[in-house]
Amino acid sequence: MAPFSKPPPTSEKLEALFNTFAGHDAGQVAIAADLLARLTETEENARFLCQHARGDGLLERCVSLAAMPTLPAETRSDVLMVLKNCMAVAEGKAMLCKDSTCLRRVLEAPPEKQTGEMATLLRHAWLGLVLNAVVSTQGSILEAHEGNHLEDSVIELCDTQTDPQGSAEGLLLLRHLYERRKTPMQPTEATRLVKLLVWAIGESDKHESWREWKGERARSPAEAVSHALHLLAAIGHQFPVRKALFHIDDEESEQLAPETAQHVNAMVNMLVVAVQKHGTTDPYAWRALSLTAEVKYVRRLMRNHACVKGLFRTLLASLAIQDRTLTEQLVSLLKQIFTGATDQFLSTDPTMFENLGKADGLKKLLSSLLTSWKDNPDIVHRGNIVAFLADAMFFSSFTDTWQVHNQASDLISILFDALLWKGVEGTAGLALGNFVSANGHIDLILDHDRAAHSISNVGWFLKRTSPGWDTKMQIYYLWRVLRSRKGCKLLCKHPHSDLIIAGLLTGVPYATTEDNEVLSLLECFLANEETRPSVLRGGNVSTMLEGLCDLLSMTGGGGDLSEPSCMLLQVLLEATGPSALLTWSGAAKMIGALSQVAAGKEVLDNLVPSLQWEPAMARALSLEYKRKWVSEVIRCSGGPAGDAAEIAVNRSDLLRDLLMKMKDGKPYQYGVKIRFVGEETGAGDGHRRECIRVAMAALCDREFGLFKSHDGGRSIHPSSIAVEAEPECMKYFHLVGKLIAVSLIHMETIPAARFTIALRKMILAAGPLHVGDMASVDPEFYLHKVQYLLLNKYMEEDKMSLSDLDLTFEDIPQPDLFPNASHELYPGGSQAQVTEENKLHYVELLCDSRMRGAVAEQVQAIIDGIRSIIPQDVWSLIQHIISPDELDLLICGLQEVDVNDWKAHSNCDVDQELWELFWAAIDSFDSDQQKALLEFATGSRTPPVGGFASLPGYGSVGDIQKFTLARNLNSTLPVASTCFNTIYLPKYTSQNEMADGLLEAVAHRDAGGFHEAAVAR
């Protein structure tokens, strides 16, 4: 039936209609609802009804009925239409919206999803009312609405199979709901919603029932697509939506399964076609596309997609409209598509150049961007323009085109301005840097009348901003521009060059492996005679040293920044001399950091001669650096590198052969090769380690008589009566020195040479001996003589005075056996009485006599042996750099075996089961068994300084050979190749079997433990 015609019904008829509608007769209520629905279809009648005295009550009655799910569908549909029509006029809106709880009852009672014409009408009426309510109240009606039930209800009511009209209405409502929603979307909700979106964008226009609906309330397929795109623009930033739309689990993934990639391709095609067909001038449609392009694989696909060429042409045409909001979304999409495009440079450069219309298209694009920059000061929009330019300018086809554009200078100007725009500064620096890097368009920047101004901008920015990504990108711009000869001249003439240098220096400690241009740029400035003074001015050197020290300390032993940091430091020291570092307050920390990284070697090698006069700095050097430096400085002392000298020795007369063959030490400063006479395994590193270990063990054996130990064998000291045990003892002490020199050259350990601290001090000429050093030489003498006197124990324990002891300044080493065998501590000392006043001096002289005087010839023989191989000037330098404790570690290695370190730096050439059995067996061994096995495998009982990562091996001096486990198919016991630090294992099946086999092999190692095939390699 048609709606009531004008004029509206009289008050009497309307009163009767109100009474009927307020009654309880369902049939009469249905008739009244139908009449009211038709009556309010015109705004005039709706307004008349709302202005009636009973209008407020009528609408309240409508709300009550509309919230009743049990009401017949036709009646409820009419009631909902009355409310919807009245919401369309100001009076009705005021009545229904004065209390947000009024209509909320209707929102919370959606109709059930049913089929049939009445169900469809009811669905449309409810969706229309809710939409009007949300829009009219600006979402306030939703504020107290709990959960997401309303959205779920709307999605449920969208029947895409039978009711595309209702689905389109539902999409419009959902758009408004999600635009106002603050809670994140759940995965199941996103899946249902995306299914509706895909239907609307890709399939809705194929539905036949669109034609069945006509009139003002009818929706079209185009509206469904538009509503869907608007909805996607509201929710497309949420990951659950992206996951449901593209079937991806990671937004940053670059590789997808074939079926997933095919699906993404179809979705991209669907969205692009929809935007081109229905949304060329709709900002929300372009925003929807831009949000999907935030997914890495999607934007990668868009760059080469077949349909993107048409999209770009549409985009350029839309940019020409110069609508502010539209342009913002178009630029946002461009930014997204080009983000990260540099990783597809080879494949995307020609394609994207072609898609954007080649030179003509790019010129139009640039003109549009420049116009938009001037007209729209929005910081986000300008940031998107700069971000797009930053990535696009990496492509030479783009920069070549823009370089000849008549507004190219304006383009550079806006980027210069952006260097000071908060939030855009870093991206502007990246854009300018990429512009130069693409095809070397440096002149366009340096010849610009504001070039110097841009450099100032960067300087001021670096000064006032905490280091971060933005500062690194601005430094990247400077690096691209100023490292050229023309750029250096610009810096020299720049009035704010000090500011720029200071800004660069603040960025030094914040350099990363990806962004370390600041180091390269400063290196360039230091290498240039014109810019060097600006870098070295004032406190710049100290600031640079602090930054480099922080970087080297963070890289901790070989990070990727160590090399550029050390290169910059090397150039700095070449410009200033070593004094700049040595006089800096943090020199010791810097030297320690340099010694931890391989790249610091060249810097330190040049500094070490100066460090011999700086004990604190010498101590800062890592022991691993010192180990390698000692070896290298000895080998290089004889001029050009030579070959190691080969010696053939008999196992049966090893010491005599070594005495004879090593009589002249000079040939051995390049190292030694040992070959055992009568053995076919040749001269190898394993033989040398075994030979020196066995020889030193024999020389240091207390039964041999050269050394004695009074601390249970923990350390040894030369014997003052060595000549009585071995008449040729001085020759053997001389040999000890030579073997120490050889071990230092080869960076190998000889654990038997665990010398006392006093002996090590004397070898290194490391200052005076102290009374406390006597504790390691003779603990009993130190306790019962030294401490007895110094702690006044003669008074406390024996109730005697010092005069009662009748001591004079002489030493009687063995009073029980030889009471008359004494010597004076100084001339006339036998006549000088020891008193409380000179007691300390007496003890000092007495200890020095025992530690030094009595064995002076023996110690000198050891030193002479060392010097016979190591030149005097080199040994003097080593004495200043190495401390006595460090000498102990260099000669003897680490005292304990760290099994975890051993395993971590080992190679596996066996199956996993055998590998695990081996290490389980090692864990079960005691310390002596572990050392014995290490000696069996490597020829050394202790690991070197630096642990198993520094295990010396076969080849040139300094070569590292990791410990290796390999299979042995020809023996029932493990076999070792000490040259290659390898144990060849039979196939064991249990830990006990493995442990027994290893211990038996170690026990029989003297029978010959070399793997001939391995040595022959």
| Furthest-apart CA atoms within the chain: distance in Å | 150
DSSP for 40-90, please give it: TTSHHHHHHHHHSTTHHHHHHHHHHHHT-TTS-HHHHHHHHHHHHHHHTSH
User: How does 253-292 read in b/e, with b if 16+ C-beta sit within 10 Å?
Assistant: eeebeeebbebbbebbbbbbbbbbebbbebbbbbbbbbbb
pLDDT at 583: 92
Give me the pLDDT at residue 117, please: 78
Residue identified by tokens 């036709």 is 74
User: Residue 708 phi/psi, 5° resolution?
Assistant: -130, 160
Cis peptide preceding 7, ω within 30 of 0? yes
The reported pLDDT for the residue numbered 213 is: 44
Closest CA to 808 of 789, 828, 839, 830: 830
Tokens representing 75 are: 């009646």
Q: Which residue has the tokens 């290089």?
A: 636
* pLDDT given for residue 732 in this prediction: 94
Q: Please state, in angstroms and as integers, the Cα–Cα distance from residue 357 to each residue in 299, 350, 434, following that order.
A: 19, 11, 22
**d(C-alpha 129, C-alpha 123), whole Å:** 10
CA distance 918 to 982: 13
pLDDT at 680: 67
Low-confidence ranges of the chain (pLDDT < 50): 1-3, 5, 211-216, 557-558, 816-819, 1006-1017
**If DSSP codes are grouped into helix, strand and coil, which group holds residue 509?**
helix
Vertex 577 angle, CA 575 and 583, to 5°: 125
pLDDT of residue 346: 54
Q: Give me the amino acid identity at 234.
A: A
CB neighbour burial string for 778-798, b if at least 16 within 10 angstroms, e if fewer: beebbeebbbbbeeeeeeeee
The span from the CA of 870 to the CA of 820, in Å, is 42
Report CA torsion sign: 737, 743, 744, 750. negative
Q: What is the DSSP letter of 671?
A: -
Burial of 613 (0-12, 13-18, 19+ CB in 10 A): exposed
C-alpha separations of 203 from 195, 209, 217, 265 in Å: 11, 13, 21, 16
Q: Which H/E stretch holds residue 266? A: helix 258-278
* Torsion sign, CA atoms 74, 75, 80, 85: positive
- For helices 187-202 and 221-235, give the axis angle rounded to 10 degrees: 150
Q: HSE (CB half, 13 Å, CA atoms) of 58?
A: 29
Cβ atoms 132, 175 nearer than 8 A = no
296 contacts 339 by C-beta, under 8 angstroms: no
pLDDT at residue 1013 in the model: 37
The first and second tokens of residue 74, run together, are 């036709």
Q: Structure pTM? A: 0.66
Contacts with 572 (C-beta within 8 Å, 6 or more apart), sequence order: 526, 541, 544, 545, 580
**Tens of pLDDT, residues 380-437:** 999 999 989 888 887 878 888 878 888 888 888 888 888 878 778 888 888 888 887 7
The beta-strand segments (E) located in 845-998 are 906-909, 963-967, 975-977, 982-985
Strands 982-985 and 975-977: antiparallel
Q: Is 1010 helix (H, G, I), strand (E, B) or coil?
A: strand
pLDDT at position 666, please? Answer: 66
Q: Closest Cα to residue 730, out of 753, 705, 708? A: 705
Burial class (CB within 10 angstroms; exposed 0-12, middle 13-18, buried 19+) of 474: buried
- Say what the pLDDT of residue 856 is: 92
Task: Round to whole Å and give the CA distance between 531 and 528.
Answer: 6
Rounded distance between C-alpha atoms, residue 404 and residue 397, angstroms: 12
